[in-house]
Structure 1
Amino acid sequence: MILDDFVYFDDKGLYCKYGDFYLDPQQPAKTAIISHAHADHAVSGNTNVYCTRATASIMQLRYDRTAARVFHIAEFNRPFVVGGVTITLVPAGHMLGSAQILMEYRGARYLYTGDYKLQPDATCEPVEWVTADVLITESTFADPAVIHPDPVAEIIKINDIKVNILLGAYALGKSQRLINLITEHAPQKKILVHHKIMPINLIYEKMGFPPGKYQVYGRKLMKVQDEFVYVVPPFTFDSYIRATGVKRLFASGWKNLQVNNQDTLFISDHVDWNDILQTIAQTQPQQVWTLHGKGEHLRAYLKDDIFVKILN
């Protein structure tokens, strides 16, 4: 039987009272099951954290001693129990170590996707499918008007840009994916990486997912026109708003983050409308609960076929 209040939001985040734990809490909690290491899902200061080894390693890098009091490392597809709820972490394909969280309780299966991606990505574990009675899906781009382009076709466009490129990207997940895509599909480009990204790259390499060919940024290098691509995090990208002699690009699925109309890089690490429909077909849920976006389009599309509940 599906429990309508199996998870709900309180002042700390998404809470499961039946197991007394939080899913990606927004405030420090006694027990947290964390889907992946992006800061909007993985805060510091939790007492007990259940997550993959990669997620723990990145949290320890970013938060040091405050990452968590105790990490409980879980392997993919190996069930464990928290407060009477059976938990299984399933690859989400969003970034290294990202996991969907399957929760089984009193004969019902609830699948929390966290952030997830169906597009191929050589820098993380590919998404895997499991069936569930309730699909609790992110809905960042749950809009029929949003269909992500092929990332390979997007990255190939930089082959036509002969000047040096200042490429803005989130340091964790997106930067490593871009390094890999450029290495594979624009091999003549010489990739430079901001020093803040380097420690994350080292974790990827240690975990068996080397991003590709790159070197640490040096100021003298970018003064030469040699088809360099300098990958920088957002704060550095914004500080170079008046940079001359370079093409400024920002890689994102969001239109408002594209910095010029002539050259865009629509590369997203989230599911689009078609991906969500494919996920529903694969997981075969009786109900769909949405969060981190808008669920109205899914509710209108699914109508009476599948019940849709909008959690936030």
Structure 2
Amino acid sequence: MLNQYYYRELLKHVNILENGAILLGENISVDGHGGRRIRVVTHAHSDHVNQLSDSVRESEIILATPVTIEMIELLGYVGRSLRTLFKMKAKALEYNQVFSTGVEKVTLLPADHIVGSAQVMVEYKGYRLGYTGDFKLTKKTAVMKNLDVLVIEATYGNPTHRRPFKDSVPGILYELVNYGLSYYGQVFIYGYHGKVQEAMKILREKGVSEPFVLTEKIYEITKALEKYGFRIANVFKEGPGRRFERSVVFKHMMSASRRRLDGSALHIVLSGWEFREPFRRVDDYTYLVALSDHSDFDDLVQYVETAKPGLVVVDASRNGDPQGLASSLREKGYCTVTLPGDQESQIEEYCL
């Protein structure tokens, strides 16, 4: 068992601020503004681009994968007045490519959360510090090993947040879409950016060939992703008079509450917050499908057990159950703290 002095030393190089900024090493702030030289963005979801405008003004470099940088621009996370400055400071970093600050070495690794999402590994003064960001544990996700500190998300950190059925969800989505196309001719699918593209890919791979009709923003993002190898055939931008005999229409989740329940179409809402069953009927014309882009509780624990880090830090600055995950990891013998929080008392109590 490593001693408490070692853990205290590690926590001098890792912290999490209330605004969600993950501080690694001396110069790195990830997924939140931390007043550091380098701002890293793991992916283009709103809770991970916190105060990006402040970072554009104050940081020297904004690091992200090429896909994430493009999505940041398309989704308007940087205001018009800062777009030129963002383009000057944004540096695209491919997976497994090393960026040196002169003090740290930064590497982005695949996370399989949404298109372009990444984990962050920082090598600093002989220490290896890793942050998962949001991730889904699949064969595409790199597990960071030999870390002194692992910072891990806790979106589904509650031990009840298990999806034993998760491998069956893509097939269920395909069957529901086929049913909707056969019975109604039109299917509406609602989800967040990134997740709707995942659904498109699943359906095309399983043989759905009907036209995909996309809202303007979803269309822009989907077409922009083509240069990075994400190609979906037979897609069209939504517009007046555009109607196919059979089609699948993709809309942002915010549109789901305005869906028309008049029997003219089947509606499918993609949600990660479903743990009892892979899908359920919401009303006569709507199904909720448990397609998640996050790891469930079992996958979070499996990641830690595979990585075997010296110290685990659970991110308590975002939604989820960090205390539930931390408690479960402590029971398995891992020195685990939640941040933001009282580092000293947690080390004394949990890292004997």
Q: TM-score range by the shorter chain?
A: 0.7 to 0.9
Judge conservation of contact 1:249–1:260 (CA < 8 Å) in 2. Answer: no
The alpha carbon displacement at 1:281 in A equals 2.5
What residue is the counterpart of 2:309 in the other structure? Answer: 285
Counterpart selection for 2:91 from 72, 79, 82: 72
Q: Structure 1's 206 and 217: CA in aligned 2 closer, same or farther, altered over 3 A?
A: same
Match of 2:227 among 199, 202, 206: 206
Q: Does 1:305 align with 2:305?
A: no
Query: Structure 2 residue aligned with 1:19, among 26, 30, 42?
Result: 26
> Which of 1 and 2 has higher RCO (CA within 8 Å, sep 6+)?
2
Which residue does the alignment assign to 1:53?
Answer: 66
Shift in Å, 1:41: 0.9
Instruction: Say which is worse superposed, 105-114 or 65-74, in terms of deviation.
Output: 65-74
* 3-state SS of paired residue (1:300): helix
What is aligned with 2:196? 175
Aligned pair in 2 of structure 1 residues 169, 144: CA closer, same or farther (>3 Å)?
same
2:3 alignment partner in structure 1 = none
Matches within 5 A, 1:179-190: 179-187=200-208, 189-190=210-211
Alpha-carbon contact 2:270-2:291 (below 8 Å) kept: yes
3-state SS in 1 of match to 2:141: coil
Partner of 2:247: 228
Cα distance in 1, alignment partners of residues 109 and 92 from structure 2:
14
Judge conservation of contact 2:27–2:36 (CA < 8 Å) in 1: no
Q: CA deviation at 1:182?
A: 1.5
Q: What corresponds to 1:139 in structure 2? A: 154
1:74: Cα distance to partner?
Answer: 1.6
For residue 86 of structure 1, the aligned residue among 97, 105, 109 is 105
Partner of 1:268: 292
Cα distance in 1, alignment partners of residues 327 and 75 from structure 2: 41
Structure with higher helix content: 2
Q: Give 3-state SS (helix, strand or coil) of 1:211's partner.
A: coil
CA contact 1:12–1:29 (8 Å) conserved in 2? no
2:141 to 95, 104, 127: 127
Shift of 1:14: 1.9
CA distance in 1, matches of 2:152, 2:225: 26
Q: Would the alpha carbon gap of residues 28 and 216 (structure 1) be closer, same or farther in structure 2, given more than 3 Å must change?
A: farther
Task: Out of 80-89 and 241-250, give the one that drifted further.
Answer: 241-250
Amino acid at match of 1:37: A
Say if 1:19 and 1:83, in contact at 8 Å, map to a contact too: no
Kindly state the Cα deviation for residue 141 of structure 1 after the two structures are TM-superposed: 0.9
Conserved? CA contact 1:298–1:308, under 8 Å: no
Distance 2:20 2:326 in 1: 23
Residue 110 of structure 1: aligned partner:
129
Which residue is equivalent to 1:123?
none
> Residue 187 of structure 2: SS of its match in structure 1?
strand
Q: Take 1:212 and 1:146, find their aligned partners in 2: how far apart are those partners?
A: 35
Indicate conservation of the 8 Å contact 1:166/1:237, yes or no.
no
Corresponding pairs, count: 304
Alignment check: 8 A CA contact 1:253 1:267 kept = yes
> Does the 8 A contact of 2:111 with 2:135 survive in 1?
yes
Would the aligned equivalents of 2:110 and 2:141 in 1 still touch at CA under 8 Å? yes
Percent identity over the alignment is 24
Asked whether the equivalents of residues 106 and 121 of structure 2 are also in contact (C-alpha less than 8 Å), the reply is: yes
Q: Is the 8 A contact 1:169 1:233 kept in 2?
A: yes
Larger of the two Rg values belongs to structure:
2
Please give the per-residue CA displacement for 1:127-184, whole angstroms capped at 9, x wherever unaligned. 12221222211110123322332232231231233222221111x2111111111122
- In 2, the alpha carbon distance for the partners of 1:15 and 1:141 equals 19
Matched with 1:41 is 48
Cα distance in 2 for residues equivalent to 1:209 and 1:285: 33
User: Which residue type is aligned with residue 27 of structure 2?
Assistant: D
Q: Greater shift after overlay, 41-50 or 87-96?
A: 41-50
Check whether the contact 1:25–1:41 (CA below 8 A) recurs between aligned residues: yes
C-alpha distance 157-147 of structure 1, shift in aligned 2 (>3 A): farther
- Residue identity opposite 2:325 in structure 1: L
Task: Compare 300-309 and 192-201 and name the one that shifted more.
Answer: 300-309
- The residue identity in structure 2 corresponding to 1:130 is M
**TM-score with structure 1 setting the length:** 0.86
Distance 1:53 1:216 in 2: 24
